[in-house]
Amino acid sequence: MRCPSCGYLESKVVDSRSADEGASIRRRRECLECGMRFTTYERIAENPILVTKADGSSEVFDRQKLMRGLLIACAKRPITPEKIDNLISSIESELRSGQRNEIRSRDLGDMVLARLAGLDDVAYIRFASVYKDFQNVEEFSEALKDLG
Ligand SMILES: [Zn+2]
């Protein structure tokens, strides 16, 4: 399992527990290169969550891809990779618990932003500016207002 931070392929399992009411096993892994801890889930193959983009195309929800985007948004901010990992886990379990197999990329972005808003303003704005394609200044200031 490739480390989401440095890309190294070797990691060790530091914790393993049942999740989603026994439907999956959650493993905490530690990268043997950089020491970053991240989470993997083992579960019976099920329908993947599809993320539909504005142009109508869709792709399979990819934890690691979201992790990379968030690591960039949170660069040099006081947010540990562990917090980012937990943020993604909470999104994934919300999607799975709602039995949703499909989500619009914009809605996924909103789910991320809702969680980032409580964590760090700078990371929120960085992520918002990349993830939402703001049509105009008004829309951007609306997003800033949401910061409260
Ligand atoms: Zn690493």
Quote the pLDDT of residue 128. 85
Quote the pLDDT of residue 146. 64
Quote the pLDDT of residue 148. 47
Rounded to the nearest whole angstrom, what is the distance from the C-alpha of residue 135 to the centroid of ligand 1?
Answer: 37
- Cα 129–chain centre separation: 16
Quote the pLDDT of residue 87. 93
Q: Could you tell me the CA-to-CA distances from 131 to 33, 38, 54 in Å, in that order?
A: 30, 23, 12
Q: Is 93 exposed, middle or buried (0-12, 13-18, 19+ CB in 10 A)?
A: middle
Quote the pLDDT of residue 29. 95
Rounded to the nearest whole angstrom, what is the distance from the C-alpha of residue 62 to the centroid of ligand 1?
Answer: 18
Rounded to the nearest whole angstrom, what is the distance from the C-alpha of residue 73 to the centroid of ligand 1?
Answer: 18
Rounded to the nearest whole angstrom, what is the distance from the C-alpha of residue 33 to the centroid of ligand 1?
Answer: 5
pLDDT tens sequence across 96-124: 887 778 888 888 888 999 999 989 999 99
Contact 83, 136 (CB under 8 A): no
CA atoms within 13 A on the CB side of 134: 15
Quote the pLDDT of residue 112. 92
Q: Could you tell me the CA-to-CA distances from 53 to 107, 115, 121, 133 in Å, in that order?
A: 10, 21, 26, 12
In whole angstroms, give the CA distance from residue 25 to residue 144.
38
Rounded to the nearest whole angstrom, what is the distance from the C-alpha of residue 5 to the centroid of ligand 1?
Answer: 5
If you search the block for the tokens 């392929």, which residue do you land on? 9
Residue segments in the chain with a per-residue pLDDT below the cut of 50: 148
